[in-house]
C-alpha cells in the first residue's frame, strides 16, 4: 500500500511538472487531489486495513497530499512568472495604434515657443488687428511722407481709401510696428510686450518671398536704459528657437522708426561661421532688425522722448521656421497642404 502511495506521488510530481499552463495545472490538481483521484481511493480503502498499517498509510497519504499542494503551488508560481498576457503569436514590429494626429501650424508652434520664453521674462502678449491705417502704419512711425513703402506697389490699400491720407487711408498692415503705438496709447509706459502677427506686402511671390507672412516683434519702453539691454531679447529669441546659445552680432542698420537702428546677424548654423552657400559665404545670416525707438514714434504714443526710451526687435517667423526645419519654400505656410502640415507635430 505504501509502495502504491509512493508510486502515486512519483507520477503526481511528474504530472505537475508537465502541466504547461495554469488550466492544465488546475486539471492536474483535480486529478491528483479530487474525489476520484488515486489518493482518495487509497483513503477510502483505509477502513479495511490493519490499525498499524492504517495509521502509517493515513500519515503517508496526508503527506503526499500536502506535497502535492506544495508542488502545485510552486508550479503555479513558476507558470505565472513565465506567463504572457497575450495569447498566441505576436509580431512586435507591427506599428502601434496611432494617437490622434492633429497639430498646430509650425508657425503657431514657433510663436508659442517664443511666447513662453517672453512670458517667463514678464512680457505681455498683445495683438493688433489686421487692418490698419496709414496713420498707424506709416505716419506714427516716422516714415517720410513720400516713402516708397507707402505706395500701392508695396502696401495693400483698401478699395475706396487708397487716395485718402492718414487715418482715412486703410491697409492690410505692412508690418507689426504700428501696433506698438496702439499698445502704448492704451497702456502707457513703462511697457514690455511682444506682438506676433501676420503682415502683408504687395510683392511678387517666389520660394523666398510671400505676400502674407508672420513677424514677431518685442518692445521694451522704460527710463534710462541702454540699447545694449536689447541683446537679452535677441538672445532669448534665438536660444528658444534653436535650443542653444547662438552667437549674434549687432551692426549698423536703418529703419525710419528707430534711431539708432541695427541689424542683427546670427552665426550660420550650417557652417558654424566659417562661410558656406547658405550664408553666402559670410558666416553670418541676417535674422532680425532692431533698434532704439525713434523719438517721433514715442511722441506719436504720447510719451516724452526726453523721459522714455526703448528698443524693438522684430523677427520674421517664416524665416525662423524655415531655418528650424530646412523648409525651402515660404509659400508652403499658406498652402493649407496637409502633406506639409502633418509633418510638424
Partner 1 sequence: MNISINFLKRYVDLPSDLSYEQLSYDLTMRTVEVEEFIRTADKFHDIVVGEIKEIKPHPNADALKICMTDVGEDEIKQIVCGGSNLVEGHKVCVSKPGAEVVWHGEGEPVLIKETKLRGEKSYGMICAPAEVFLGDLISTKEEREIVDFTELGIECEAGQCVAEVMGLDDVILVVDNKSLSNRPDLWGHYGVAREIAAIYKIPLKELSSELPKGLPEYPVTIEEPERCNRFTATKIDNVCVKESPAWMKTLITNAGMRPINALVDITNFVLLAVGAPQHAYDSTHVDGEEIIVRLAEDGEKLLLLDEKDLDLTHDHLVICDSKKPLNLAGIKGGKDDSVLDSTNSVILECAVFTAPGIRRTTAYFNEKTDSALRYEKGIDTQRADLGVSMALSLFKEIYPECVFSAFTDNYPVKTENAVIDITQEFLDTRLGEVIERSEIEDILTRLGYEVSFADGTYHCIVPTWRSTGDVSIHDDILGDIARLIGYEYFKKQPLPVSFEHSVNQVGTDLARRLKEYLAFRCGMNEIFTYPWIDEKFISAAGIDTESCVKLATPPAPELGCLRASLIPGMLESIDKNSRYFEDFAIFEAAQVFEKGEYSPSSPDEVLPVHKNMLTGAFAGKDAKELFYKVKGVIEGMAGYCHFKPFTFKQKAKPSWADEKVWLNIMEGGRIAGSIGLVSVQALSASGIKLMSAAAFEIDTAVIEPYPSRTNEFKHLPQYPLVEQDLSLLVDEAVTWAEIAEAIKFMVKELKFVEEYRGKQIPAGKKSITLSLKIGNDDSTMTSKQIDKKMNGIIKVLEKKCGAQLR
User: Hey, which residues between 178 and 207 contact partner 1 (CB under 8 A)?
Assistant: 181-182, 185-186, 190, 192, 198, 200, 202
Does position 299 interact with partner 1 (CB under 8 A)? The reply is no
What is the smallest separation between the CB atom of 22 and partner 1, expressed in angstroms?
A: 30
Does position 239 interact with partner 1 (CB under 8 A)? The reply is no
**Over the range 155-185, which residues count as b (16 or more CB within 10 Å of their CB) and which as e?**
bbbeeeeeeeeeeebbbbbbbbbbbbbbbbe
Q: Which of 76, 156, 270, 329 binds partner 1 (CB under 8 A)?
A: 156
Dihedrals φ, ψ of 235, to 5°?
-70, -30
Kindly tell me which of 12 and 174 has the beta carbon lying closer to partner 1: 174
Region binding partner 1 by CB under 8 A among candidate stretches 23-31, 35-43, 75-83, 145-153: 145-153
Axis-axis angle for helices 22-33, 51-81 (nearest 10): 180
Kindly tell me which of 25 and 172 has the beta carbon lying closer to partner 1: 172
Region binding partner 1 by CB under 8 A among candidate stretches 15-23, 72-80, 319-327, 333-341: 333-341
Q: Which of residues 262-291 bind partner 1 (CB under 8 A)?
A: 262-263, 280-281, 286
Kindly tell me which of 57 and 317 has the beta carbon lying closer to partner 1: 317
134: which residues sit within 8 A by CB, 6+ positions away? 150, 165, 166, 167, 168, 169, 170, 171
Kindly tell me which of 68 and 333 has the beta carbon lying closer to partner 1: 333
DSSP reduced 3-state for 104 = coil
Kindly tell me which of 54 and 211 has the beta carbon lying closer to partner 1: 211
DSSP reduced 3-state for 92 = coil
Q: Which of residues 3-62 bind partner 1 (CB under 8 A)?
A: none
Kindly tell me which of 124 and 304 has the beta carbon lying closer to partner 1: 124
Query: For 173-192, what is the HEC assignment?
Result: CCCCCHHHHHHHHHHCCCEE
Terminal CA-to-CA distance of the chain, rounded, Å? Answer: 76
Q: Which of residues 96-125 bind partner 1 (CB under 8 A)?
A: 100-105, 107-108, 112, 115, 119, 121-125
Q: Which of 9, 60, 71, 133 binds partner 1 (CB under 8 A)?
A: 133
Region binding partner 1 by CB under 8 A among candidate stretches 37-45, 46-54, 72-80, 230-238: 230-238
Does position 216 interact with partner 1 (CB under 8 A)? The reply is no
Contact at 8 Å (CB) between 324 and 243?
Answer: no
166: which residues sit within 8 A by CB, 6+ positions away? 133, 134, 135, 139
- At residue 244's C-alpha, the angle toward residues 253 and 101, to 5°, is 105
Q: Which of residues 242-261 bind partner 1 (CB under 8 A)?
A: 249-252, 254, 259-261
Q: How far apart are CA 61 and CA 222, in angstroms?
A: 96
Does position 314 interact with partner 1 (CB under 8 A)? The reply is no
Kindly tell me which of 75 and 265 has the beta carbon lying closer to partner 1: 265
CA atoms within a 13 Å half-sphere pointing along the CA-CB vector of 177: 30
Amino acid at each position: 500500500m505504501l509502495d502504491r502511495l509512493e508510486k502515486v506521488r512519483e507520477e503526481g510530481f511528474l504530472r505537475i511538472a508537465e502541466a504547461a499552463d495554469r488550466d492544465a495545472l488546475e486539471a492536474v490538481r483535480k486529478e491528483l487531489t479530487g474525489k476520484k483521484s488515486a489518493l482518495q481511493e487509497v483513503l477510502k480503502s483505509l477502513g479495511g486495513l490493519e490499525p498499524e498499517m492504517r495509521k502509517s498509510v493515513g500519515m503517508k497519504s496526508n503527506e503526499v497530499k500536502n506535497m502535492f499542494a506544495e508542488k502545485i503551488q510552486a508550479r503555479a508560481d513558476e507558470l505565472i512568472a513565465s506567463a504572457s498576457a497575450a495569447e498566441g503569436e505576436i509580431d512586435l514590429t507591427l506599428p502601434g495604434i496611432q494617437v490622434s494626429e492633429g497639430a498646430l501650424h509650425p508657425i503657431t508652434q514657433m510663436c508659442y515657443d517664443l511666447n513662453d520664453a517672453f512670458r517667463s521674462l514678464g512680457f505681455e502678449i498683445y495683438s493688433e488687428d489686421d487692418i490698419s491705417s496709414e496713420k498707424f502704419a506709416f505716419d506714427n512711425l516716422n516714415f517720410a511722407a513720400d516713402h516708397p513703402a507707402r505706395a500701392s506697389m508695396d502696401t495693400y490699400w483698401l478699395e475706396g481709401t487708397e487716395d485718402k491720407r492718414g487715418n482715412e487711408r486703410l491697409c492690410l498692415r505692412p508690418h507689426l510696428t504700428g501696433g506698438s503705438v496702439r499698445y502704448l496709447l492704451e497702456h502707457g509706459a513703462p511697457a514690455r510686450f511682444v506682438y506676433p502677427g501676420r503682415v502683408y506686402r504687395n510683392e511678387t511671390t517666389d520660394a523666398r518671398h510671400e505676400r502674407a507672412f508672420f513677424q514677431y516683434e518685442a518692445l521694451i519702453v522704460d527710463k534710462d536704459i541702454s540699447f545694449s539691454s536689447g541683446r537679452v531679447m535677441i538672445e532669448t529669441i534665438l536660444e528658444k528657437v534653436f535650443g542653444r546659445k547662438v552667437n549674434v552680432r549687432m551692426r549698423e542698420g536703418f529703419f525710419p522708426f528707430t534711431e539708432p537702428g541695427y541689424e542683427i546677424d546670427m552665426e550660420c548654423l550650417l557652417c558654424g561661421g566659417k562661410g558656406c552657400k547658405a550664408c553666402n559665404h559670410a558666416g553670418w545670416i541676417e535674422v532680425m532688425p532692431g533698434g532704439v525707438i525713434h523719438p517721433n514714434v514715442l511722441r506719436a504714443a504720447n510719451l516724452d522722448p526726453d523721459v522714455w526710451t526703448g528698443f524693438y526687435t522684430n523677427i520674421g517667423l517664416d524665416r525662423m521656421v524655415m531655418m528650424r526645419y530646412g523648409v525651402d519654400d515660404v509659400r508652403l505656410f499658406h498652402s493649407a497642404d496637409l502633406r506639409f502640415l502633418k509633418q510638424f507635430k
